[in-house]
Amino acid sequence: MNGIMRADGYFLDNRNRQAEATDRFDASAALFDPTTFRHLQSLGVGAGWRCWEVGAGGTSVVSWLAKTVGRTGRVLATDIDISRLTPVARPPVEARLHDVGAEEPPVEGFDLVHARMVLAHVPDWPRALRSMVKALRPGGRLLVEDADPALQPLLCPDEYGPEQQLANRLRNGLRQLNLHRGADPAYGRKLPRMLREAGLRHVQADAYFPITSPACAVQESAVIRKVRDRLVAAGVASDRDIDRHLANVASGAMDLATAPMISAWGRTV
């Protein structure tokens, strides 16, 4: 998905800052693809499956699905910006502009619908979830994955020095900006209940968050470069603070973490 959408636009809108967006997509793939692929495999995704990747953004999950479903399958990849999907938009992949929070499902009868780091950023997420469930065939699977920053709010869980203290101060400031714009830091933990309330059966969930992955540093640097003007304007930090933090991150000497990603899945009747 292209960012955190609120009344005044997308907080992490990728369309005007392509370098940061590419770094974030690549980091997200490195951090979370193994967990996503493990769940997709456990759900039985295979040859001939019809899959809808919602808020695709990057290409890694779409490419995995395309290879797995093969020539007899179908992968519909949708987002509000599909420019990054062009390299993989060939059979069995179709890329289509679509806003899951404002439009009806593009088609129905899917064996699988998957969304990662999408629903929490959609203003009308109940409509988006209904749309995703509606798109499933009887017995179809839904896998939804989203972050829960309230479960683990620190960038540096081991806060033992001034570098870690600065990192956590900036992370807290970013979280406050997100709260001001209407984000829900406890969204991820609600996914199992939301899936049950949407009528899905056999709902299960788990959580994963990495610590000390090189991709955590790439992701943090890209996010801070993207929002530094907002952090400075809000009085969270000075430009000097942010430059110091970016240098600390680039040094590779800090143990950086992400918010836990909650994966929840279930199937229709």
Name the amino acid, one letter, at 170: L
Supply the pLDDT for residue 11: 46
Q: What per-residue confidence (pLDDT) applies to 6?
A: 38
pLDDT at 57 over 90: no
Which whole number is the average pLDDT over 161-179? 96
pLDDT tens-place string over residues 106-158:
999 999 999 999 998 898 999 999 999 999 999 999 999 999 999 999 999 99
- Kindly state the average pLDDT of the residues 9-15: 45
| Residue 176 within a domain | no
Overall domain count for the chain:
1
pLDDT digits 0-9 by tens, 34-43: 999 999 999 9
- Reading the block at residue 118, the tokens are 């999408």
Token pair listed for 131: 């749309």
Structural domain includes residue 218: no
Q: What average pLDDT does the structure give for the chain?
A: 92
Whether 233 shows a pLDDT value over 50: the answer reads: yes
Residue 16 is assigned to a structural domain of this protein: yes
Say if 174 falls within a structural domain.
no
Give me the mean pLDDT over the 183-195 stretch: 94
Predicted confidence at residue 195, as pLDDT, reads: 98
Q: Which of 182, 164, 2 is nearest to 83 (CA)?
A: 2
- β-bridge mates for residue 126, sequence order: none
Q: Is the pLDDT of residue 95 over 80?
A: yes
Distance CA 26, CA 32 (A): 10
The predicted structure's pLDDT at residue 18: 62
Residue 30, in any domain of the structure? yes
pLDDT at 53 > cutoff 60? yes
Instruction: Tell me whether residue 240 is in a domain.
Output: no
Counting DSSP H helices and E strands in the chain, the numbers are 7, 9
Domain that holds residue 197: 5-152+182-212+259-267
Q: What percent of the chain has pLDDT over 90?
A: 85
Single out the residue of 1, 57, 7, 10 nearest to residue 227, CA to CA: 10
Between residues 11 and 239, the one the model is more confident about = 239
Q: Residue holding tokens 């992955």?
A: 213
Structural domain contains residue 109: yes
Q: What CATH number has the domain bearing residue 110?
A: 3.40.50.150
Q: Give the model's pLDDT for residue 58.
A: 87
- For residues 230 and 117, what is the distance between their CA atoms, to the nearest angstrom? 22
Please tell me the distance from the alpha carbon of residue 36 to that of residue 47, in angstroms, as a whole number.
18
Q: Would you state the pLDDT for residue 182?
A: 83
| Residue 228 domain-assigned (yes or no) | no
pLDDT tens-digit readout, 251-263:
999 999 999 999 9
Tell me the H-state helices in the chain.
18-42, 60-69, 125-134, 162-180, 191-197, 214-233, 239-251
pLDDT at 227: 95
Evaluate whether 82 touches 95 at the Cβ level (below 8 Å): yes
